[in-house]
Structure 1
Amino acid sequence: MRRARRNLAATVTLALACSTLTGCFEEPSPHDAVRDFLVGWQSEDYDLAAGRTDGDRAIVRQALSDAKLELDAASFRFKIQRITINGEDSQADFRAEVDLGENNPLWGYDGVLPLHLVDGRWKVRWSPSVLHPQLKEGQRFAVDTDPQPRRPVVDRAGDPLQSDTYLYVAGVYPAQLGDQAEDVVARLSDITGYAQDRLLSRIRSSPPEKFVQLVTFGRARYQSMQSKLEAIPGIRVERQEQPVDPDPPKQIIGTVSALTPETEQKLGGPQRAGDSVGRSGLQAAYQDYLTGSTQTKVITLDLKTGKQVAQLEEWRGRQNAAVKTTIDRGVQQAAERAVADTVTSSLVAVQRDTGEVLAVATKGMNQETDALSGRFPAGTAFSIVAADALLKAEVSPKQRLSCPPERTVGGARFVHPEQATAVTPSGTFQENFAKGCVTALASLARRVTADELANSAKAFGVGQPWRLPLKSFSGSLPQLSSDADKAKAIAGQNVEVSPLGMALVAAAVGSGTWRPPVLVTDPKAPDPAAEVEPIVQPDPVPVDAAVRKTLTTMMRAGAVGTPAQAGRGRVYGVTATAGDQMTWFVGWQGDVAIAVLAKNHNAGAVAGSFFAGLPNSP
């Protein structure tokens, strides 16, 4: 597609050039000869161009055609700089711009057309130096590329989060093909789907003694085509190790596949044959960082020896780089073990003081679309956020509240689930918070305003525009226009959150400051070609010190005596219900804050298993 756009641009430029030059230049002068030669070269009307030279037409036509093939050029564009006349001799200086195709750089150089009068007509004095000042007889152009292998996605310690596996690259040595090149690429095109002209252009533009990568295969596809490839004379297959087999968290790291004709056309990036392509996760989000760094040189070669004569231009290419994440391998392993015995669950762990994502583990759910960007009812886990507003509104944690099986607030009916832990009929706010009594918490709706609840939600990141390089969801709180709406919000019934968002809520209470999440620390943005600054994350928001102190005490009470307190260290948190047999645990131990969402399983038990399994667990 990009090649097509460049060709279109060249066509437009050509039309402008023709109309401008035709209108400005008149015979008898060298202007017409210069115009016709450059327009013919640019538009691939090589007969027009050859007719304006003093050389053999067939030789000139072939030289112009070969130059395009040898450079694998998508287009040539020219601009006349000046024309000088000295009697029967003249010289035209021009600027050439060559699109080297496949998203290689544009190559610009200054050229010279020497002209003289032949039978009263101006002719370009033909020699190879007309194509480029450094091109001589017995020489040709070539494009030498040196693609770099894919770089890994790494954890916070810099260790790869994927294992090496093999890809198979089919290619040729042009010097060994002789006059069989067209037959070889025709057969290769037939079995792979790659365009025959593109394969042939790669061969003809490459140095003859260098292995030219043409098609990449994954293991399974290579095995299915191995016999067909071996039947094509001149085709060689190289086995290349690349870091593409993801370690946990596999859906966050993402999968990689070999480049195909479809993905090559779709990506429109710096990929070439032999590259691998990220299909999902961070491998896809950071594709242009992990691969595609290609050093490119335009050179001249001696036709007899095939050796390089001169280097005309060089582009080192963008250096590809590893992507450094905040994932902690030890924490990830603990998370994987914790969810292993569940059927449907999600666990997100973040570093309490930074918001850095340490682990994402799921069972029966997707790590990206559920753990990071899922939209789930918050249930009474949202009471952490509501408690911030209620405590600021001077609701005492010692205030007595009844916990009946049912209660109506503002016309909205609330039911304390039968499976939920029983609360004494006149327990305190802290006790009802710790046990997640829906009916008791909902009764506090009249003690707080809608704005106060909304402000607390915002302070804990709900609905804030924080972003990750992967899909993520910060939560949503609807407009609260009645006591019933406020009661539903306190009970988390009209609030949607993600496990990641709730882990950040726990981290905010544990550390004293809410912070946006961080998953990748380097590079700063997924797109290396972005001309704008990376998206600015929301500023950290400190939690009111007095409120935090009380909330910490309340969340400690919420963990004591529950399965979450399975380890020896102090655990803080709440176990909450969210309907449809879903339960939450939101809390922290030490430096690690987590949110667990589980179906038909006690989320607190998953949390307890996780905390007990941490490599530095107290």
Structure 2
Amino acid sequence: MTRARRTLAAAVTLTVAATTLTGCFEESSPHEAVRDFLVGWQSEDYDLAAGRTDGDQTTVRKALADAKQELDAASFRFRITGINVQGDQSKADFEAEVDLGENNPLWQYEGVLPLHLVNGAWKVHWSPSVLHPQLKEGQRFAVDTEPKPRQPVLDRAGDPLQTDQVLYVAGVHPATLGDRAEEVVAQLSEVTGYAQDRLLSRVRSSPPDKFVGLVTFGRARYLSMRAKLDAIDGIEVDPQPQPVNPDAPRQIVGSVSALTPETEQKLGGPQRAGDSVGRNGLQQAYQDYLTGSTQTKVIILDLKSGRQVALLKEWRGRQNVPVKTTIDRAAQAAAERAVAATPTSALVAVQADTGQILAVGTKGMNQERDALAGKFPAGTAFSIVAADALLRRGVSPKQRLACPQERTVGGARFVQTGQVVGTTTSATFQANFARGCVTALASLARRVTADDLSRSARAYGLGQPWKLPLRSFSGTLPPLAGDADRAKAIAGQTVQVSPLGLALVAAAVSSGTWRPPVLVTEPSAPDPAADPVPAVQPSPVPVDPEVRTALTAMMRAGAAGTPAQAGKGRVYGVTAAAGNGQSWFVGWQGDVAVAVLAKNYNPAAVAGSFFAGLNSAP
């Protein structure tokens, strides 16, 4: 809950409390004095509260106002738990609830109000202990915080996927400001746009000898504002290296920025000045894990020495932890090199027997929006899934099929572009599959039902509700009402997929089991409140062994003679047209499955470059 929302809640509570107290208490008892004092303190009507004490009115008003600033409190709420009257003396017990903001837990404590009769009227006997039983003359509240440095995003080997970058934290040592704190904070607020009252509360709530970070800058913004900051007497700048400069895959890892007035207001807590904020990718998805929450202490300080004399409450905060991914540096480097020569492409590589994402490389495309979550026509790459349904229905890889330039199925027209495998029945289903003959594949629409195709699509993850901590797309298969619809689906014309989804299809044939994708292994969920309960993922789905054997041979034929088979080791796969100059390669080598989407470039060449780079990695 943000500071603003808690303050609103306090205001509502105050109305209820005031009404309840007014209706219940007698005028002739100390109840009215207790009610007015606590309601005045809670509502910041310090004149009302001070008027119900026997202390100097100016002193009481200042003490109550100072307590709010010294605690950097968003609100106070009170509940009277009992009143005891003995003659002209009385004692009221109350429970206090202080919202320290920054998403810290509420501070709750028990207090006592001593009262006595003064000229026939009940008055709260004033002393600092009215604010808290342990507070004495010559002392003040303070809040001591210890923000934790940001943790890194790691690759599968536990090495950081980013390097340190210096952030610049402007702040003060309150003890050196003396009575100039308000003046200095006003200047800093004017320069940076941060709310003056918030900055001042942080200064006045902190131990005087401790550096208080107030505003964080990235390098470019700091250099642009350096002269203005230097001109403010009392402002110090502390350069703080933080792991925020992303390595590849940069858009998956995500970028980080310094905390700004806008992001602080939006996020509420636990962020404070000196913290960094994930803007996208895993840095944003796991922000609360990477930053943890601030360790906070409510303490009492001696005014003369500035030393701590009492610890009233401590919250250790949620420990921040690194985020461990499945990214493999060697595979990522090979992916980056493979896509570099293309005008536009995306490559996703997964470990075939686990579904773990090893690399995401793009050129002219976004790694998250396009490679993981893109919605692209499957083209004849869907023939892998369609072949599963056809093989289950008894269609033999050796069956002869013609591959004419054009064919009409159920009223839908199909045109084969590029090489024609054979206009007679001389070519097999396997040969037509390997070369992506859309007219031959469409002709098989009557050999399967809509349920057959839908069942195979689900078995290979299309439309399944698998989840990643980043945006992703599992694919869609439209309703299939007749021959034309089935033919269009087999040809992949009405099927949408992502590169990640097709990489998982290749992994299923390679390993013999379809598995949902995995990008992060620790922590188990992006939301700390949900941990350790992991997101529900679909169960693995085994591929029929006989179907897998046939598909493996068909995909071996599909890769033979293509640039995908450029390096050492046998490659399996298919090259497929997807329209608009885009084409796919979907396949595997060893235990690494890939899907490549390229525009105006041979995707098999990208895959071949990737496999060659992976094989040559140390």
Could you tell me how far apart the structure 2 residues matched to 1:335 and 1:201 are?
50
Partner deviation per Cα, 1:87-144 (whole Å, 9 max, x = no partner): 2221111100000122222100011111122222221111111100111110000000
Q: Is the 8 A contact 2:421 2:432 kept in 1?
A: no
Correspondence list, 1:20-419, <5 A: 20-418=20-418
Could you tell me how far apart the structure 1 residues matched to 2:420 and 2:204 are?
76
Could you tell me how far apart the structure 2 residues matched to 1:527 and 1:192 are?
31
Could you tell me how far apart the structure 2 residues matched to 1:396 and 1:179 are?
89
CA shift for structure 1 position 12: 0.9
Could you tell me how far apart the structure 1 residues matched to 2:477 and 2:275 are?
44
Q: TM-score when scaled to structure 1?
A: 0.98
Partner deviation per Cα, 1:167-216 (whole Å, 9 max, x = no partner): 00000000000111111111111111001111111100000000000000
Q: 1:126 to 1:421 in 2, by over 3 A?
A: farther
CA shift for structure 1 position 523: 1.0
- Give the secondary-structure state (helix, strand or coil) at the position aligned to 2:547: helix
CA shift for structure 1 position 421: 6.3
Amino acid at match of 2:95: R
Q: Are 1:467 and 2:467 matched, yes or no?
A: yes
Amino acid at match of 1:69: Q
Amino acid at match of 2:360: V
**Aligned match of 1:611:** 611
Q: Are 1:433 and 2:433 matched, yes or no?
A: yes
Partner deviation per Cα, 1:226-264 (whole Å, 9 max, x = no partner): 111001000000000001111000111111111110111
- Give the secondary-structure state (helix, strand or coil) at the position aligned to 2:232: coil
CA shift for structure 1 position 553: 1.1
Q: Is the 8 A contact 1:423 1:431 kept in 2?
A: no
CA shift for structure 1 position 524: 1.2
CA shift for structure 1 position 535: 2.8
Amino acid at match of 1:579: G
| Percent identity between the two aligned chains | 77
Task: Please identify, of 140-149 and 52-61, the stretch whose mean Cα deviation from structure 2 is larger.
Answer: 52-61
In structure 1, stretches of 5+ residues that fail to align are none
Q: Are 1:487 and 2:516 matched, yes or no?
A: no
Could you tell me how far apart the structure 1 residues matched to 2:269 and 2:201 are?
19
CA shift for structure 1 position 289: 1.1
Partner deviation per Cα, 1:23-77 (whole Å, 9 max, x = no partner): 1110211111111111111011111111111111111111111100100111000
Q: Is the 8 A contact 1:423 1:437 kept in 2?
A: no
Count of residue pairs brought into register by the alignment: 617
Partner deviation per Cα, 1:513-541 (whole Å, 9 max, x = no partner): 11110101111111113489443111111
- Give the secondary-structure state (helix, strand or coil) at the position aligned to 1:111: strand
Cα RMSD of the aligned pairs, angstroms, is 1.3
- Give the secondary-structure state (helix, strand or coil) at the position aligned to 1:607: helix
Q: Is the 8 A contact 1:129 1:135 kept in 2?
A: yes
Could you tell me how far apart the structure 1 residues matched to 2:61 and 2:78 are?
18
Could you tell me how far apart the structure 2 residues matched to 1:577 and 1:7 are?
59
Could you tell me how far apart the structure 2 residues matched to 1:115 and 1:99 are?
27
Q: Is the 8 A contact 2:524 2:531 kept in 1?
A: no
Could you tell me how far apart the structure 1 residues matched to 2:34 and 2:530 are?
40
Could you tell me how far apart the structure 2 residues matched to 1:227 and 1:182 are?
21
Amino acid at match of 1:239: P
Task: Please identify, of 53-62 and 229-238, the stretch whose mean Cα deviation from structure 2 is larger.
Answer: 53-62
Could you tell me how far apart the structure 1 residues matched to 2:321 and 2:387 are?
45
Q: Is the 8 A contact 1:423 1:435 kept in 2?
A: no
Q: TM-score when scaled to structure 2?
A: 0.98
**Aligned match of 1:539:** 539
Q: Are 1:592 and 2:595 matched, yes or no?
A: no
Q: Is the 8 A contact 1:347 1:595 kept in 2?
A: yes
